[in-house]
Amino acid sequence: MAISVLTSVIGHQKHKGWVITDAGWMALSRDRGTASQKVNQGSGLVCNVEGDPLNDLIVSSTNQEHGIISDRSKKDIAWESFGIGSMVRILPNHACATGAMYDRYYIIDGSTEIIDVWHRINGW
């Protein structure tokens, strides 16, 4: 995976089975390229901070500024793992479209420690 987005949990709608994050389509891109594939990943695969996928959790919906995490199998979410302010890592569907929204990239190498910062050069 070429890119991931670290995002904060900002709310819950437990009766709907939703975890709400501060990463919407502006942060993840609107690419739903997996919608027609055998396994639909929504707008991105949800992982823990270290990048390990969290079962069947996906970003099932987005608006401009917010993402909705839900379980594709409709299983109960372990709410204690998604406290307000906690962080999750999203593996988006389209690295290029996602990366284009940022002015810099924080580089990690197999851990959560930032080892470098790459500033983006814009324009053609």
Per-residue DSSP letter, 99: H
Residue boundaries of the structural domains of the chain: 5-119
Q: Which residues have C-beta within 8 Å of that of residue 65, sequence separation ≥ 6?
A: 22, 24, 26
**Domain 5-119 CATH assignment equals 3.40.190.10:** no
The angle subtended at Cα 48 by Cα 87 and Cα 6, nearest 5°, is 45
| Dist. CA 49–CA 119, nearest whole Å | 22
Please report, as a single letter, which amino acid is at residue 99: G
Question: Above pLDDT 70, what percent of the chain?
Answer: 94
Interval 19-55: pLDDT, tens:
999 999 999 976 766 667 777 678 899 999 999 999 8
Q: Burial, 2: exposed, middle or buried (Cβ in 10 Å; 0-12, 13-18, 19+)? A: exposed
Q: Is the pLDDT of residue 124 over 80?
A: no
pLDDT for the residue 114: 93
